[in-house]
Amino acid sequence: MNNSSPVWHPNTQMQEWTQFDKIVKGHGMWLIDSRGNKLLDGVASMWCNVWGHSKKELINEIILQTKKIPHSSFFNLTNEPAEHLAKKLVKMSPNMKHVFYSDNGSTAMEIAFKIALQYWKNLGIKNKTKLASLENGYHGDTFGAMSVGYAQQFFSKFKDQLFSTNQMPVPNKYRTPEGYSFSEYQKHCLEKIEMLLSKNKKIAAFVMESGAQLAGGVVIYPPGFQKKVSQLCKKHDVLLILDEVATGFGRLGSLVEYQSQNSIPDIVAYGKMLTGGYITLGVTLTTKKIYDAFLGKFEDKKHLFHGHTFTGNPIATAVANENLKLYEKYNLIKKINSTSKVFEKRKDDFYQLDLVGDVRTKGMLMGIELVKNKNQKTPITSKKSINKIIFEAGKLNGIYLRTLGNIVMLVPPLAISSKELEFLLERTFLTIKTISKKYDFRHE
């Protein structure tokens, strides 16, 4: 049977999918399809859902704001929810003083890159034109984001059109190269970064995800790594751009991840969980130093050349305001730190499974790396999409999973209960066990 829908799905080989389950309703942490099947949302609907899918306060805020004004342009005008949210974001984000609105994580990062590059131009420094980043980093699917977060397996088709960046190694304990201890390798990575920043005077900014790389395979930075990168940037007069699109707002156990990493960015981006996962919004925050470099007479043309139709949308910003209120009301960060103990408690169980090479967890995040051979750590491969195999097996176990390559990602809604998290882990365990029986990954 062919899929007769005209819809083209993201990152999907459409020929392999005869149909897609239609989600018609959400109830708490559960997704309900048109046949009444319930699936526990194991990836927070692409890592953005905070409170589950039926939080009254957020839904009411959407209705309330829609009745007032659903959208009015941010060009020449402003609106109350966007003004209020900017104040809140600045208050919660140390050193940040200004907020530029957009509509998703990729655009929030594109804006960060443009601000950083134009910053140096505005100061009259012409040679700082390059961006550096970490290998395996992911910052979105737009051209700038693909250039900075270049991953061969995703973006090679566009390589000719992407701008060149300097990618530095990242310390991933499980994949420490032979001949190094993990601490030696961390030192090596930092030395490489320092060498680049000190020698290459073209580097305008260093870009990295804050706290951990998610799409790059759940690589959780060792303590002190991000702080050291931040210090190196200051020392060598390179801007630091932190991407908290996936890792901020409590995902790793802190509201502002860069604060808990003792790092000081010049520019930071938030997205995903900003609205509780209810509506699309991205923000790029900067320090006063950065913002001030864009001030001048109109004829100087120092202002930022960027804007979107839905920049500062009142519904999205009103929902984000309400969402932040709920973080306080329900003491969400404390709850995350308590619930996430379930991840720690259950982590070692997964090593009983033949396919599991490594399990990494922090806050409301777990990455389970599947390998053919535990000693050689060779990632499992298959002619079929591993994501599809795991998604289908997960569905039979009552959970919604979307994996990235050979890494099973558990990224549940932040307010999930301990009981539901236990369920998710138990069913994930069963799912991996089932696929290891059904497929011969060792010989594929």
Note the residues at the interface with ligand PLP (CB under 6 A): 104-106, 109, 138-140, 209, 214-215, 243, 245-246, 271
Nearer to ligand PLP, 104 or 226 (CB): 104
Which residue number, 113 or 350, has a Cβ lying nearer to ligand PLP? 113
Question: What is the smallest separation between the CB atom of 244 and ligand PLP, expressed in angstroms?
Answer: 8
- With respect to ligand PLP, which residue has the nearer C-beta, 266 or 372? 266
Question: Quick count: other Cβ atoms within 10 Å of Cβ 126?
Answer: 8
CB closer to ligand PLP, 117 vs 245:
245
Toward ligand PLP, which CB reaches closer, 158 or 330? 158
> Taking the complex as a whole, how short is the minimal distance between the CB of residue 301 and ligand PLP, in angstroms?
29
In angstroms, rounded to a whole number, what is the distance separating the alpha carbons of residues 386 and 380?
Answer: 9
Residues 336/414, Cβ–Cβ less than 8 Å:
yes
| Extended beta strands in 340-383, E state | 356-361, 366-373, 378-379
Rounded to the nearest whole angstrom, what is the least distance from the CB of residue 51 to ligand PLP in the complex?
A: 19
Residue 438 CB neighbour total at 10 angstroms = 10
Q: Minimal distance in Å, beta carbon 205 to ligand PLP? A: 15
Least CB distance from residue 405 to ligand PLP, whole Å?
A: 14
CB of residue 247 to ligand PLP, shortest distance in Å: 7
Identify whether the C-beta of residue 270 lies closer than 8 Å to the C-beta of residue 285.
yes
CB within 8 A of 168, min separation 6: which ones?
132, 133, 134, 135, 189, 192, 193, 196
Number of helices (H) and strands (E) in the chain: give both, helices first: 15, 17
Neighbours of 276 (CB within 10 A): 28
CB nearer to ligand PLP: pick between 52 and 149: 149
Q: Report which residue type is found at 138.
A: Y
Residue 167 bridge partners (DSSP) = 133
Query: Do 53 and 26 touch, CB atoms closer than 8 A?
Result: yes
What does the alpha-carbon distance between residue 413 and residue 52 come to, in Å, rounded to a whole number? 6
CB 269 within 8 A of CB 245: yes
| Tokens 């390589």 found at | 159
Find the residue with minimal CB distance to ligand PLP. 105
Shortest Cβ 115–ligand PLP spacing (Å): 16
Q: Which two tokens stand for residue 241?
A: 């751009």
- How big is the CA angle at 138 (ends 133 and 139), to the nearest 5 degrees? 85
Nearer to ligand PLP, 149 or 314 (CB): 149
**Bridge pairing between strands 23-27 and 30-33:** antiparallel
Least separation in angstroms between residue 404's CB and ligand PLP is 10
* First-residue to last-residue Cα distance in the chain: 26
Hey, which residues does 131 pair with through a beta bridge? 205
Closest CB 94 distance from ligand PLP, rounded Å: 20
User: 377: phi > 0 → left, psi -120 to 50 → alpha, else beta; which?
Assistant: left
Which lies closer to ligand PLP via its Cβ, residue 131 or residue 245? 245
> CB-wise, 266 or 436, nearer to ligand PLP?
266
Looking at the Cβ atoms of 219 and 371, the one nearer to ligand PLP is 219
Least CB distance to ligand PLP at residue 394 (A): 19
